[in-house]
């Protein structure tokens, strides 16, 4: 089992190490290592298309992670009080949404949005006065944020519900006995206990949204996220610039996770 575990970890991390190493390649071809250089990092950071797609991905990921954390936490609190067949039904729907392939979610979301736009846009055109151009709903930031929120909300629900199940209910009952309002009980008792799960759900949602390609490819419209840009660049040929972009994203993700872990540990020590 030890050798098997080592082989699995090597299979997972050796390709990542190769990408990091070849991102410092001074040659012009990704597979031809000619020496160490940071020139490709400078080219990637000075590329306006890379920076524009990076900003787009960060905006979408942050918005989707925030919305999924809020809605997922509210749904987890509501589902925890639900009993009977309805709870079994919703539990099944949550886990099904996690296991459905991304391409299915992308296609169905695209069809649903296009159908909704075909219904709403004529209504908006009829309601608007003549001579004034009515607003027209189309694919863009809102559509991809909504799709990512619905996709990642299930992750937040699962994490927060697991945390709620292990909560000390005696504290909540004591707060109620001391005539605390439901909002005060939630803010001072429930929220501090489930905050680590909310933070973990936010980070997972941010990572899934930032790295997503399939769903974004279908519903992003004219916007280009960083995974879509990398995919387009790879079709023209792999260069060390692509490796540099991947290394920057990897370093950013690691810094984000380490910072969150440090904040959570510091919070626990203060408590």
Q: Does residue 11 fall inside a structural domain?
A: no
Q: For residue range 180-207, list pLDDT tens digits in order.
A: 777 777 777 777 788 888 888 888 888 8
Q: For residue range 128-181, list pLDDT tens digits in order.
A: 777 777 778 888 888 899 888 888 888 888 888 887 777 767 777 777 777 777
Q: Does residue 24 fall inside a structural domain?
A: no
**CA-closest candidate to residue 20, choices 212, 231, 250:** 250
Q: Does residue 83 fall inside a structural domain?
A: yes
Q: Does residue 13 fall inside a structural domain?
A: no
User: Per the structure block, which two tokens stand in for 185?
Assistant: 């009980």
Residue the block writes with tokens 């979301």: 109
Whole-number pLDDT of residue 87: 76
92-121 burial by CB neighbour count: b if 16+ within 10 A, else e?
A: eebeebeeeebeebbeebbeebeeeeeeee
**CA-closest candidate to residue 97, choices 160, 163, 153:** 153
Whole-number pLDDT of residue 266: 55
Domain, as residue range, for 114? 48-238+249-270
Q: For residue range 56-115, list pLDDT tens digits in order.
A: 988 999 999 999 999 988 888 888 777 777 777 887 888 888 888 888 888 888 888 888
How many Å apart are CA 81 and CA 95, to the nearest integer?
A: 18
Q: Does residue 25 fall inside a structural domain?
A: no
How many Å apart are CA 176 and CA 119, to the nearest integer?
A: 48
How many Å apart are CA 211 and CA 213, to the nearest integer?
A: 6
Q: Does residue 29 fall inside a structural domain?
A: no
Whole-number pLDDT of residue 64: 92
Q: Is the dihedral of CA 102, 61, 111, 72 positive or negative?
A: positive
Torsion, Cα 79 81 85 87, to 10 degrees, reads 20
Whole-number pLDDT of residue 62: 92
For the whole model, what pTM was predicted?
0.81
User: Per the structure block, which two tokens stand in for 202?
Assistant: 């936010």
Q: Does residue 12 fall inside a structural domain?
A: no
Angle between helix 39-46 and 48-80 (nearest 10): 80
Whole-number pLDDT of residue 60: 92
Q: How many domains does the chain have?
A: 1
CB 222 within 8 A of CB 140: yes
Checking phi first, is residue 167 left (phi over 0); if not, alpha (psi -120 to 50) or beta?
A: beta
The CATH number given to whatever domain includes residue 232 is 1.10.3720.10
Distance of CA 34 to the CA centre of its chain: 37
Whole-number pLDDT of residue 260: 64
Q: Does residue 2 fall inside a structural domain?
A: no
Angle between helix 240-270 and 39-46 (nearest 10): 80
How many Å apart are CA 11 and CA 5, to the nearest integer?
A: 10
On the question of pLDDT at 259 being above 80, the answer is no
- The pLDDT of 15-43, averaged and rounded, is 77
User: Per the structure block, which two tokens stand in for 40?
Assistant: 């490709």
């Amino acid at each position: 089992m030890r050798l098997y575990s080592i082989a699995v970890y090597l299979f997972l991390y050796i390709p990542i190490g190769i990408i990091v190493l070849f991102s410092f390649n001074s040659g012009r071809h990704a597979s031809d290592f000619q020496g160490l250089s940071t020139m490709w990092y400078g080219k990637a950071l000075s590329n306006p298309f890379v920076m524009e797609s990076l900003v787009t991905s960060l905006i979408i990921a942050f918005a989707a992670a925030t919305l999924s954390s809020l809605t997922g936490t509210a749904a987890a609190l509501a589902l925890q009080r639900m009993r009977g067949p309805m709870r079994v039904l919703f539990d099944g729907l949550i886990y099904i949404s996690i296991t459905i392939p991304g391409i299915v979610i992308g296609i169905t979301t695209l069809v649903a949005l296009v159908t909704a736009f075909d219904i709403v846009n004529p209504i908006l055109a009829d309601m608007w006065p003549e001579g004034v151009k009515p607003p027209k709903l189309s694919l863009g930031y809102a559509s991809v944020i909504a799709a990512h929120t619905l996709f990642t909300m299930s992750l937040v629900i699962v994490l927060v519900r697991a945390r709620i199940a292990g909560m000390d209910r005696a504290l909540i009952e004591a707060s109620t006995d001391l005539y605390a309002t439901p909002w005060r009980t939630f803010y001072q008792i429930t929220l501090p206990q489930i905050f680590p799960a909310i933070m973990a759900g936010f980070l997972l949602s941010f990572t899934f949204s930032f790295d997503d390609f399939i769903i974004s490819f279908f519903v992003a419209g004219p916007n280009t996220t960083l995974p879509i840009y990398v995919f387009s660049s790879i079709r023209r040929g792999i260069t060390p610039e692509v490796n540099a972009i991947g290394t920057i994203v990897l370093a950013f993700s690691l810094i984000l996770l380490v910072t969150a872990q440090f904040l959570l540990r510091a919070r626990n020590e203060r408590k």
